Amino acid sequence: MFTPKYPPRDIAPTPARATAHVPAVQAPAPAQVLPVPPASNRPTVQLTPGSALALTAGGGAVVLVVGAVLVSMLLAVAITAVSVAVTAVVLRFLITDLRKGR
């Protein structure tokens, strides 16, 4: 279950080595032809104008939602900090009043 699954290797045929008799006078070697890489098995992604627009709109929506969540979290932290500060000031006044005996 947790073992990695590797995609199958693209196996290109290897050129066979010639073992035939080479004549004493050799003809000029023909131009080497580079092997053509095998076609990929992966599907290609083709974006049409409509899908590009939908992708852009979706990305913008994600940015807006993440921004709203982050701003709301920052606002919650700020409100909590202010309430803790007000509570500390009130407790300080209460403690000083108790010490003075009022």
| Domain tally, the chain | 1
Is residue 92 situated within a structural domain?
A: yes
Is residue 43 situated within a structural domain?
A: no
pTM of the model: 0.46
| pLDDT tens-place values along the chain, 102 residues long | 688 777 777 776 666 665 665 556 666 666 677 777 777 777 777 888 899 999 999 999 999 999 999 999 999 999 999 999 999 999 999 999 999 876
Is residue 99 situated within a structural domain?
A: yes
Is residue 28 situated within a structural domain?
A: no
Is residue 54 situated within a structural domain?
A: no
Buried b (16+ CB within 10 A) or exposed e, 12-37: eeeeeeeeeeeeeeeeeeeeeeeeee
Is residue 97 situated within a structural domain?
A: yes
Is residue 32 situated within a structural domain?
A: no
Range of the domain at 100: 69-102
